Structures are given as structure tokens and as C-alpha cells.
A and B are shown apart, each in its own frame.
Chain A
């Protein structure tokens, strides 16, 4: 069994894929932990969908697609804020409007340029970890170094700010800068993860491993480290599934991550629903949940 796993690693593309899987698993779990505790999962989803036109336009004018994606992500948050502050439209609707518009633009642009070039829309949407290039590994490594350095250096300030933003502001911490810094890290992480998981599902790699770890651990750094382990296992497993069964890498990674979440949800020592039943009734949990919809 081990030989079947090791055998493909002699190929350059598998080595690159493995590197990306590890790097992306790490940074998504770390940054995703902040998204989770700040209840910004929806914003993460919006940004990741919004980067698609940036990828397309960058490709068309020949600049680094990471930069195009990053600019599009940034632009989308600016537009969301504009709609939210200058009109009666609330935050969730503003996000929905902007990300679907940007996403639609991206799909349209890629479909058009797809005719003349060899790019595949599905790779942008669902990931193509096996097709990662050396330049992309280099760029992802740079992003990972930036993300991890910032989180390490600013850990105690970010902990205070994400837990108690008013208290942090009252004590004189530059909360607007900290927030901006976090937004930048989120943007960079999303851009770095696009090749592995694709635009549609990158949110899952951000949120699911961190949430799984949240069911198992009690302190933020434990949740991050646990999330990293779970995220890396998910990425690598998804990569192998993609290789052996010719599946798109994004969905494969997400299915593994979601499976691990389900295990924690059912069996967590502190909060699993099977280890801590809500009541002593004999009816199965799922049936009880369905019945309660009628109340």
C-alpha cells in the first residue's frame, strides 16, 4: 500500500502537487481559524468567488494571475462596503450581489478566452492540483511565508482583537490596521489556494478543517495546529484521490475534509452528538431532527 503511494512521487508534477497540498493545507487552516472565530465565513466565500474575473483578465493581459486574483478580491470588498454603507442594502445581500456578479463576469470571460487558448474553466472552478507549475509553487511558498510570519509576529494582538475588538480598541491597539492585515491575509490565502481547490470550494478548505479542530480543542493555537493537521491530511488525500481516480482535486479534497468533520461531529470527546446524546430517548438522532421541523 505504501509503495502505491510513494511510487507516483518520483514524478515532478506529483512532487509539486504534494508541496502545494501541504502549503495550502497549512495556510488555509491558520487563516480559516480567524475567519471562523470572527464569523466571516460568508465573506470568505464572497471573496473567493469574486477573484475569478481577476484571474481571467490577468491571463488575458499576461500578468501573474495571482496578482489579478488579489486585485479582484480587494475590489470586491471595496464594492461590498460601498453598497453596504451608501444604500439601505444590508451586508449579506451586498455580498451576495457582488460575488455573484463578479463570478458571472469571470465565467463569461473565461468561456470566451477558452476558445482561443488551452485553459480549462473547470480547472479554475474546481482546482487542478496535479497541473501546478514551478512558478505557482514558488508564489505559493512566498505567500505561505508571509502569512505564517505575520500570524506568528502578531499572534497576541490578533488574539485580543478577534476576541474583544472593543477592548482592544480601548487599550489603543490599531484595530483598523489589524483588520486590514487580516483581510490581506485572507485574500492572499484564497489566491494561493485556487490551484489546489478551485474558486468554488476554497471556502471549505478554509473553514472545515478549522471547524473540525474547534470541536476537538479549546484554545486558538490548538485549533490552528489541529486545523493544519486535518487540512494537510485532506489536501494530500484529495491529491491522491485525484491522481488515482482522475477526479478534479477540489471536490476530492473537500470530501475528505468534510468526512473528517463528520467524524469529529459524531465522536468528539467533548461535543460529539453520539458521545453526548441530547436526551435518553430511543429514537435515532436524524429522525428526531426531521420530526422537530414540524413544531
Chain B
């Protein structure tokens, strides 16, 4: 079984004369739920955007299975931060989910029956099928996020990228989202999530990428969450959720 992966080589990003990211080298593996963490301004969203070619970057090519990721963008589902979307846009839940079928449908063609079926299935999976005709401006934060999740599912992508999907989202939605991440990973996809905090939910990630302008650590979650790494990234006193190796699972210790 081929292991799909994204390889990033010596990536650097400058943002108005500031070095936002310095010489990032890493691999993101399929079949794992990968989280990107780091303090505010660490460059997490920047790294995601640079990887997808949304902002200019320097360095080696970004490869997906040894081919340039830029040639395979139709396999990428990207969900931007909710704050970057215009929620007063005249669109319903259905309109947004069907955007996931635009590339597959192709230029000048109308959406097929199959496309519509997939959209309905995706909406059922996220529990939004009763709200198909709801204007997106009337949705709660959690509902908005679930609509975007349905859009990415409808796309049938191989690579799923989410930028801070848990901001302002209710517990039930967070649970559904992580459930779906788990399903996507088990189906052999790449799941990459920029995460804004370090709470208890961090145990849902298999792999972590710890950033602060440079790459501090990446790989298996328990290895990355070592105190030494965290202090390098966050610099000094801070609270984060740390799993004790001696305790039973689900009994967290907070430092």
C-alpha cells in the first residue's frame, strides 16, 4: 500500500519584510489526523496557505506523492477561517455545499444528478440536511463550520485542509467534526488542521506540527508535546494540556 504524503522542502515565507516562516521541512502523512499548533502569529495559517500556493513563498517545490502539489489541486479541499468568509453573501447551505462539485463537474457543464446525491449524503453526514435551504447568514458558528465540512466531503478530495475549524464552535459540532476527521484519516486521506488552542481536544490528533516561525517539532503527538518542545515554542510559563504517561486515558493532568 503506497503511503500518500505531502513533502515540504525548505519553505520560507516573507510578509512585508518580516520572515513569517523560516526554512520549513516536513512531511504530512495520509491516514493520520495532523494538527498544526503554535502561539499566535507563529505562521500556522501562513504555512497552510503557502503549501497550497495561496500566498507567495520561497523554497523547494511542494510535492504530493513526488509530483508538484500545484498540479493536483483538484484533490485538495480547503476550508478557510470562518472570519474570512462573507456570511452575508446571498447563498443557502445547498449553494455552498454544491461548490464542492464545481471542479469535478467541469467548465460549461451543469451539476449532474450524481453530484446532487453526493451533496445530500454529505449534508446528512454532518447533520445539516434539514437546513438545506437556510441562508448561510442565519446559521450559527457550528452550523457554518459543518456546511464547510460537507462541502469538502462532497468534493471527494484526497487532501483535507482546515484553518482553525473549532473557533466559536459548539461542543456537538466539535464532536462531529473530529469524528469525520477520524473517518477521513481511516479512509487513507490526508487531514491537516490548523488548531488555535491547546485544550483537551488536542488528544484527537495523531500527529502534530509545532511551529513558531520555524519548525520546532513534528511527528507523533506524544513526542511533540514534550515539555522541552513546548517551552521552545511558547517560551516559558504557560498552561497546556499534557497527558501523563502513567495515568489512565481520559484523566488529564493540567500543568
Residues of A in contact with B (beta carbons under 8 Å apart) = 37, 153-154, 156-157, 159-160, 162-164, 166-173, 214, 217-220, 222-223
With contacts A153-B108, A156-B111, A172-B73 known, is A167 near B80, CB below 8 A? yes
Which of B92, B103, B155, B161 contacts A219, CB < 8 Å?
B92
Residues of chain B lying within 8 A (CB to CB) of residue A173: 102-103
| Residue of B80, B85, B91 ringed by the most chain A CB atoms within 10 A | B91
Closest residue of chain B to A38 (Cβ to Cβ) is B86
State whether the Cβ of B95 lies closer than 8 Å to any Cβ in chain A.
Answer: yes
Residues of chain A lying within 8 A (CB to CB) of residue B120: none
A37→B90 contact, CB < 8 A: yes
With contacts A167-B80, A171-B77 known, is A220 near B90, CB below 8 A? yes
Residues of chain B lying within 8 A (CB to CB) of residue A171: 73-74, 76-78, 102-103, 155
Which of B53, B80, B108 contacts A164, CB < 8 Å?
B80
Which of B78, B99, B108 contacts A159, CB < 8 Å?
B99
Pick the 4 closest A-B CB pairs, nearest first.
A172-B73, A170-B78, A218-B135, A160-B99
B27 CB → nearest A CB, Å: 20
Which of A167, A214, A217, A220 contacts B78, CB < 8 Å?
A167
Closest residue of chain B to A210 (Cβ to Cβ) is B90
Which of B89, B91, B107, B135 contacts A157, CB < 8 Å?
B107
**Secondary structure of the B side of the interface?**
mixed
A220 to B99, CA, bound (A): 13
Instruction: Please provide the chain B residues from 49 to 93 with a CB less than 8 Å away from any CB of chain A in the complex.
Output: 49, 52-54, 73-74, 76-80, 84-86, 89-92
State whether the Cβ of B105 lies closer than 8 Å to any Cβ in chain A.
Answer: yes
Which of B54, B96, B105, B108 contacts A163, CB < 8 Å?
B96
A214→B102 contact, CB < 8 A: no
A157→B78 contact, CB < 8 A: no
With contacts A172-B73, A218-B135 known, is A166 near B84, CB below 8 A? yes
| Residue of B74, B85, B90 ringed by the most chain A CB atoms within 10 A | B90
A173 to B105, CA, bound (A): 12
Interface size class of B (residues with CB under 8 A): 20 to 34
Which of A160, A162, A166, A223 contacts B102, CB < 8 Å?
A160
List 11 A–B pairs whose Cβ atoms lie within 8 Å, in order of A's numbering.
A159-B95, A159-B99, A163-B85, A163-B96, A164-B80, A166-B78, A218-B90, A219-B90, A219-B92, A219-B95, A223-B90
B99→A170 contact, CB < 8 A: no
B105 CB → nearest A CB, Å: 7
| Residue of A160, A164, A168, A214 ringed by the most chain B CB atoms within 10 A | A164
Residues of chain B lying within 8 A (CB to CB) of residue A163: 85-86, 89, 91, 96, 99
A156 to B96, CA, bound (A): 11
Closest residue of chain B to A218 (Cβ to Cβ) is B135
B110 CB → nearest A CB, Å: 8
A170→B52 contact, CB < 8 A: yes
A172 to B77, CA, bound (A): 10
Sample of 6 further A-B pairs with CB below 8 A, known A156-B105, A167-B78: A154-B107, A166-B78, A171-B73, A172-B76, A172-B103, A218-B90
B102→A222 contact, CB < 8 A: no
A169 to B90, CA, bound (A): 20
